[in-house]
């Protein structure tokens, strides 16, 4: 932010990620904390800046006055894990890292079986594993305390099944199950096919291949995918737009220009 004692603190992605508190929650409880991949602190800062800018523009359009937008990456990072602070305010309990798997191996890859606390009973119904009804797994705290045994039960359920079977079992019950798609999965995905995401692009040298399209549509239309230009293909157009005459361009093309 623009003020406060940390205004001029030297920082980087990992510094903000750590000082913003999220790192203390990531990883296993018996190992050092971890940082998410990528630039999550910067992403949160960018998201905050976008939201604030849109609000400021709306205010300007409605009231004819601009706004000075002060965006704090540090505060954006803290906002990303507000649940831990709500828990502390209500109970005084400091949330810790837990040894809990979110990704489970299956017969042909990996799938995600992560559910929230209020979805636990529905998970038991979907998996249809009687052992999960044991009192040792009745609450989130008990599941964390007995996670070694819980993990073994979940693995025994996931390993014989395909990732598509696991995905459909959860989704059909309204649970956010997922599978981890490989490139061949993506290329035959019915979702991408239905939205014409992959488009064939013809190139005079490389040939015709399918390329990823645009994730954005305008008025329901898919932006047309085009090929990369050949070396020097648009030289005349570019030089003409820069104000060079036809004779000057011809001289350059012949190697006589200066």
What is the per-residue pLDDT for 144?
80
Q: 189 near 163, Cβ under 8 Å?
A: no
* Residue ranges with strand state E in 119-187: 178-179
* Residue ranges with strand state E in 113-252: 178-179, 198-203, 207-212
CB atoms under 10 Å from CB of 248, counted, come to 16
What is the per-residue pLDDT for 256?
54
Residue spans of the chain under pLDDT 50 = 257-258
Burial group, residue 215, by CB count within 10 angstroms (0-12, 13-18, 19+): exposed
User: Residue 163 has which token pair?
Assistant: 């990732």
What is the per-residue pLDDT for 257?
47
What is the per-residue pLDDT for 82?
85
What is the per-residue pLDDT for 140?
79
User: Residue 56 has which token pair?
Assistant: 């400021």
Question: Tell me: the pLDDT tens digits for 173-225?
Answer: 999 999 999 999 999 999 999 998 999 999 999 999 999 988 888 898 888 88
What is the per-residue pLDDT for 105?
95
What is the per-residue pLDDT for 145?
82
Closest CA to 157 of 189, 191, 195, 131: 131
User: Residue 157 has which token pair?
Assistant: 């359920």
What is the per-residue pLDDT for 258?
47
Closest CA to 147 of 106, 109, 97: 97
């Amino acid at each position: 932010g623009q003020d406060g004692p940390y205004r001029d603190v030297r920082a980087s992605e990992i510094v903000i990620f750590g000082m913003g508190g999220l790192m203390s929650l990531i990883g296993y409880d018996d190992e050092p904390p971890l940082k998410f991949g990528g630039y999550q602190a910067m992403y949160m800062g960018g998201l905050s800046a976008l939201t604030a800018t849109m609000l400021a523009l709306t205010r300007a359009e409605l009231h004819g006055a601009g706004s000075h937008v002060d965006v704090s990456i540090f505060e954006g990072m803290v906002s990303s894990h507000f649940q831990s602070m709500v828990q502390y305010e209500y109970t005084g309990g400091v949330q810790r890292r837990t040894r809990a798997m979110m990704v489970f191996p299956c017969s042909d890859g990996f799938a995600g079986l992560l559910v929230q606390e209020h979805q636990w009973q529905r998970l038991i119904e979907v998996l249809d594993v009687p052992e999960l009804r044991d009192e040792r797994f009745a609450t989130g705290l008990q599941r964390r305390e007995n996670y070694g045994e819980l993990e073994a039960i979940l693995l025994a359920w996931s390993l014989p099944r395909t990732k598509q079977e696991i995905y459909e079992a959860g989704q059909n019950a309204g649970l956010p199950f997922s599978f981890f798609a490989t490139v061949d999965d993506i290329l035959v995905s019915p979702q991408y096919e239905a939205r014409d995401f992959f488009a064939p692009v013809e190139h005079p040298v490389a040939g015709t291949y399918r390329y990823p399209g645009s994730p954005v549509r305008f008025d329901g239309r898919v932006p047309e995918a085009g090929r990369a230009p050949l070396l020097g293909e648009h030289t005349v157009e570019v030089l003409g737009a820069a104000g060079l005459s036809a004779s000057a361009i011809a001289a350059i093309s012949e190697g006589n220009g200066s």
